[in-house]
Amino acid sequence: MSTDAPAFTQISYDVDDRVATITLDRPDRLNAFTPTMARELIAAYDRADADDAVRAIVLTGRGRGFCAGADLGRGGASFDPTDPQRAADRAGVGTIGGVVRDGGGTVTMRMAALRTPVIAAVNGPAVGIGATMTLPADIRLAGASARFGFVFARRGLVPEAASSWFLPRIVGVSRAMEWAATGRVFDAAEALDGRLVSRVLPDDELLGAAYAIAREIADNTSAVSVALTRQLLWGMLGAPSPWDAHRADSAAIAHLGQGRDVAEGVTSFLEKRPPAFPDTVSDDYPGHVLPHWPAPPADLTD
């Protein structure tokens, strides 16, 4: 296992056999979210997405919780943009619409732009940003002990991290509004019923299941195909009509059909052997098929 990542203090980053594991690592605080954690998560996603040796990412939390939400160490000033300490902690995150960017949103928008698939393995409490940071993940698994809460209305806030876009698309607007308007914490069974997660597993089987999915991706698929598929599936959620998808699909198939990975995929199938796909995302991703998604708005500044 490689551990040559930059020096992280509130997360850990490891790569083993083409799977990166990003672990929220403040177990004494139930992995409460901080500006430092936000910066480190973005750096970890940058690192994973730039590494052709990483084919999938598993996101989880250390200890008995995934993430208990934002660190409220500043008390009533925890979300006040005029608080000097908060302003200092968030220096450099940039602005959008004339105000400082929401810290959770800086993380989820970076995750949304990934070309590497993300599997969230949610162990224990996932509350506030602990829940919303998982929404751009491609697959969410929950341990039996997982608890979720979109508790913002109980703190006088609104759901952040672009969750007003992600959550209704995942669970439907009615369920999203029920959870967001009540702010109540609910269990893994309700999360499964509401399609927030795709599976609930015994806690001791959670990571194993996440890694099994990651291995399926790493061992059997084309990196370029998976990267483009991820961008297409997310990007088409906001498309006006299926013709937009048809246009993008046609461009993708026309391009990929001439390439080495398709030749290898078909040949290996006919020869009844495992594929050895030669293309890499860094060199062979067809950027003309779908502009990098999500493209930042014109008023986003760093």
Spatial contact of 104 and 161, defined as CB atoms under 8 Å apart: yes
3 band by pLDDT with thresholds 50, 70 and 90? very low
**287 pLDDT more than 50:** yes
H helix or E strand, kind and range, residue 274: none
Domains located in the chain, CATH noted: 11-217 (3.90.226.10), 221-301 (1.10.12.10)
SS3 59: strand
The confidence score (pLDDT) of residue 120 equals 98
**4 pLDDT more than 70:** no
Window from 87-91, 135-139, 245-249 with minimum mean pLDDT: 87-91
- The winner for highest mean pLDDT among 16-20, 94-98, 288-292 is 16-20
Average of per-residue pLDDT across 240-247: 94
- The winner for highest mean pLDDT among 38-47, 98-107, 284-293 is 38-47
Higher pLDDT, 85 or 150: 150
* CA pair distance 62, 35, nearest whole angstrom: 18
The mean pLDDT of the chain is 93
The confidence score (pLDDT) of residue 2 equals 46
Q: Which residues pair with 301 in a beta bridge?
A: 95
**272 pLDDT more than 50:** yes
Q: What is the pLDDT of residues 187-227, one digit of tens each?
A: 999 999 999 999 999 999 999 999 999 999 999 999 999 99
- The winner for highest mean pLDDT among 66-75, 144-153, 291-300 is 144-153
The confidence score (pLDDT) of residue 128 equals 97
The confidence score (pLDDT) of residue 220 equals 97
The confidence score (pLDDT) of residue 290 equals 83
* CA pair distance 39, 41, nearest whole angstrom: 6
- The winner for highest mean pLDDT among 70-74, 230-234, 298-302 is 230-234
Alpha helix stretches (DSSP H) within the chain: 35-49, 84-89, 103-112, 129-132, 163-171, 173-182, 188-193, 206-220, 223-235, 242-256, 260-270, 281-284
The confidence score (pLDDT) of residue 78 equals 64
